[in-house]
Amino acid sequence: MHVFGRSSGSPAMSLQPSSRAVAERDPALPGLKLLLDEAALARQLGARTVTRVDLRYKPGVSCVVGLRVVATDWGEQWFCAKAFTAERFEQIKQRTHWHTGPWRVRMIEDQRVALIPPQLDRTLKGLYRLLDPDHRSDRLAKITGRVFSAPDLHIMRYKPNRRLVAQVTDGVSGPKALLKIQRPGAFDAAKRGAEIARQFGGPEVLAVEPRRGAITTEWLPGVSLCPVNGEADHALFRLAGARIAQHHRSPCDPPILSRASEVEALRRVVSDVSTLLPDHADRLAEIGARAKAVLLRQGAQTGLIHGDLSADQVIAENGELSIIDWDRTATGDQGRDLGCFLARLDMQRLGGLISAPQADELRVAFLEGYRSCRVLPGSHKAQHICHLVLLLTEPFRTQAVDWHALTVTLMTHIEALLSPSAVMPTDEALPYLTKALSAEVMGPLITDQTGLALTSPPLLTRHKPGQRALVRYECQTPAGDACTLLGKMRSKGPDRRTPAMQSALRAAGLDGEGPNKTGVPRVIDIENALALWFMEEVPGTCLRDLQDDGQTQPFFRTGAALGHFHKSAVVPGRSWSRAQELAVLAHALGKAERMLPSEASRLKELLSQAEDALGDLPAQPPAPIHRDFYPDQVIIDEGLVWLIDLDLVALGDPAIDVGNFLAHLAEYAIRKTGTADAAEPLQAAFLSGYQSTGFDLPRRSVETMSAISLMRHIYISRRFEDRHHTTSILLNLPWLDARAI
């Protein structure tokens, strides 16, 4: 449990002035004032203490609170307290089952509030009998698959309509298991998280019951590293950093958490806090915009992430650590885990729960531990800022002491971290990145060697931490014309192969000026010690953005451009074989099999078909191939076609490029319409353009390479939530059958 302004054992709090102001601005919910006042709730219920455990507020719609209520005569009970609008309250009053049977809802008519026992939770239906003492033993045996002696159930946390977490104890031997009851939509993620925790040495999964959303794991002894619990051990924080670094090296199959999702989360929080603090709306909007900009400038070190990492998710027992609660695990930016961990420490410091020196020492220990095993993700500072923004609603949700002042203090802290020097992207594997992003360094360098003047700060447009970066330099010629340079950097040192290849292709006629109307970007020779090489940014529209226009001419021209590229006399210094292409497919289908175990036989069948089909293909004279050719790599500029991102150019079968392009068109059509048929006009135009150059290929080779590329999209479809609907279509396409390829 994340705590900010007080411990859960403190006496009930009276309504704060800031909370009163929020309630007065929402006359549609007269019960909001009561739900924000623990002391008033205690009086209303005749309880000794009332503690809010979860609070969700939708202005003008509802407020839902999880309540832990302790009374002198009847001990501890839990409730869902919900404030309704007038219309909705009249509707719920008609629920007869709320007023009959062993479990009753208490209605506070004048406040339009209902106090609902968890046994009547409409989403967590498994609680009805589980929390009934007369049925608990039988229900626990069915859910957990274990028989306990005089079992008892201690509720640790109840989030109405979302989750209940309880400790299962044996009357003889004490705590035995942890039971989680999840809402249906969260069950798969919770099950995956429990399995990942077990793989990392966490508690064994004892039982899984999808119908009731129940997951039972062994009880894990120990205490959390949350520094609020007492004197934190710096050595354990260092070990925690090393442990999450080790986990970050693990294979990652969970769904993708995209930058777009992270940005949307920032937007929602800023909107919610602006409703609570309308006088600070402009300031909050500025914080949100700047945090978003900082995040979007950062590349992602993509891999397995915990998703909600903090010190209280780390359990220590006799010097050994386990990281728990992997319910939000995903494939995403690993800087997110570090940022989330550090933001929670900051919040506890700002709330007065730990001292500033202690927070700093624990932060340093955690990062040192991570760095001892792995390079720090370059985005961890940006993610730290963004997770502080995401915590802006927490003081209100927990009703921390003077939550208004704490929220404003947090805003000030975020603004300090948003200073330019604090958010400059860094990457230990790219030691010159900071200089490449410095206008003071790059301005004179560019002007001295090209005569161009830098007109704005360098912008990091792409960044794959630990591997490569792309920096954009907006410049101006002496005549006043705009000109943009792109600088590329990689961790392996200066890339001399790609700029030499682009220069050779331009010398062979692919300069955008010849009769073939095809070009590759011009390399700009700027000597530097930063492992950077430069090229001009080409003008035009990305072909990706023309797929919905219905115009076939750009695709005909793209096919012709690829034909001219394949016919060029340039000989790359490396080769790419069909066997290597098959190995890439095998790797992708192997990952897909781990994510889709029920489709294992079909995936193995597809790989076998692809292997057989490749073995039957006729030999093909090698040509320079792009190796990653699809609409994103093509820029259409009026009468010209530019081919970009040539880092992978090699000598190989040209059908690889043609098939890959056709497969991407098909996958896009499937994503948009549910069928590949919509891609046929664009595919036909592309092939016609390719053949117009006199560079024709065996149909069987093209269809085979297209099918192999499309098979790879089975795995890709599982990585992106907006593509999940295409998985079954891709698995069952008839043209992936052996007869078709």
Strand 152-159 vs strand 174-182: parallel, antiparallel, or unpaired?
unpaired
Q: Quick check: 205 pLDDT over 50?
A: yes
Question: What pLDDT does residue 1 have?
Answer: 39
Residues 229-242: tens digit of each pLDDT: 765 788 999 999 99
Task: Name the CATH superfamily for 121-220.
Answer: Phosphorylase Kinase; domain 1 (3.30.200.20)
In the chain, list all ranges with CATH 3.30.200.20.
Answer: 121-220
The Cβ of residue 587 has, within 10 Å, a number of other Cβ atoms equal to 12
CA 443 and chain centroid, separation:
35
For residues 172-187, average pLDDT: 88
Q: Quick check: 582 pLDDT over 80?
A: yes
Q: Which of 193, 212, 220 is nearest to 142 (CA)?
A: 212
Q: Quick check: 735 pLDDT over 70?
A: no
Question: What pLDDT does residue 741 have?
Answer: 41
Strand 314-317 vs strand 320-323: parallel, antiparallel, or unpaired?
antiparallel
Q: Which residue did the predictor score with more confidence, 153 or 254?
A: 153
Rounded to whole angstroms, the Cα distance separating 386 from 487 reads 27
Q: Selecting from 3.90.1200.10, 3.30.70.120, 1.20.58.220, 3.30.43.10, what CATH number does the domain 541-736 have?
A: 3.90.1200.10
Question: What pLDDT does residue 421 have?
Answer: 60
Question: What pLDDT does residue 169 have?
Answer: 87
Q: Quick check: 116 pLDDT over 50?
A: yes
Q: Quick check: 9 pLDDT over 80?
A: no
In the chain, list all ranges with CATH 3.90.1200.10.
Answer: 224-417, 541-736
Amino acid found at 338: L
Which tokens go with 581? Answer: 């292409």
pLDDT grade, residue 471 (50/70/90)? very high
Question: What pLDDT does residue 737 have?
Answer: 52
Question: What pLDDT does residue 362 have?
Answer: 95
Would you call 589 helix, strand, or coil by DSSP? helix
Query: Among 291-295, 392-396, 502-506, 734-738, whose mean pLDDT is lowest?
Result: 734-738
pLDDT grade, residue 5 (50/70/90)? very low
Tell me the average pLDDT of the chain: 90
Residues 632-688: tens digit of each pLDDT: 999 999 889 999 999 999 999 999 999 999 999 999 999 999 999 999 999 999 999
Percent share of the chain, pLDDT over 90: 71
Question: What pLDDT does residue 705 have?
Answer: 96
Question: What pLDDT does residue 420 have?
Answer: 67
The Cβ of residue 99 has, within 10 Å, a number of other Cβ atoms equal to 12
Q: Quick check: 2 pLDDT over 50?
A: no
For residues 548-575, average pLDDT: 94
Q: Quick check: 738 pLDDT over 50?
A: no
For residues 22-35, average pLDDT: 95
pLDDT grade, residue 100 (50/70/90)? confident
Q: Which of 521, 472, 481, 493 is nearest to 634 (CA)?
A: 521
Rounded to whole angstroms, the Cα distance separating 722 from 720 reads 6
Rounded to whole angstroms, the Cα distance separating 224 from 611 reads 51
Amino acid found at 33: K
Residues 211-257: tens digit of each pLDDT: 889 999 999 999 999 998 765 788 999 999 999 999 999 877 778 89
CA dist 741 → 565, 567, 736 (Å): 26, 26, 7
Residues 419-445: tens digit of each pLDDT: 766 567 778 888 999 899 989 999 999
pLDDT grade, residue 14 (50/70/90)? confident
- Is the whole model's pTM more than 0.85, yes or no? no
Question: What pLDDT does residue 736 have?
Answer: 55
Q: Quick check: 139 pLDDT over 90?
A: no
Which tokens go with 682? Answer: 């664009």
Residues 440-466: tens digit of each pLDDT: 999 999 999 999 999 988 888 888 878
Amino acid found at 72: T
Would you call 79 helix, strand, or coil by DSSP? strand
Amino acid found at 149: S
Q: Selecting from 2.60.40, 3.30.200, 3.30.70, 3.10.450, what CATH number does the domain 433-536 have?
A: 3.30.200
Q: What is the CA radius of gyration of the chain?
A: 30
For residues 566-573, average pLDDT: 92
Percent share of the chain, pLDDT over 70: 96
Q: Which residue did the predictor score with more confidence, 72 or 714?
A: 714
Question: What pLDDT does residue 230 have?
Answer: 62
Strand 163-170 vs strand 152-159: parallel, antiparallel, or unpaired?
antiparallel
- Non-local CB neighbours of 603 within 8 Å, separated by 6+ positions: 589, 592, 593, 596, 714, 731
C-alpha dihedral, 347 to 350 to 354 to 359, nearest 10° = 70
pLDDT grade, residue 7 (50/70/90)? very low
CA 329 and chain centroid, separation:
9
Burial of 469 (0-12, 13-18, 19+ CB in 10 A): buried
How many residues can be counted in the chain?
741
- Non-local CB neighbours of 389 within 8 Å, separated by 6+ positions: 266, 269, 270, 287, 288, 291, 414
Residues 36-76: tens digit of each pLDDT: 999 999 998 889 999 988 899 999 999 999 999 998 777 88
CA dist 528 → 432, 470, 472 (Å): 11, 16, 16
For residues 315-336, average pLDDT: 92
Amino acid found at 535: M
Task: Name the CATH superfamily for 224-417.
Answer: Aminoglycoside phosphotransferase (APH), C-terminal lobe (3.90.1200.10)
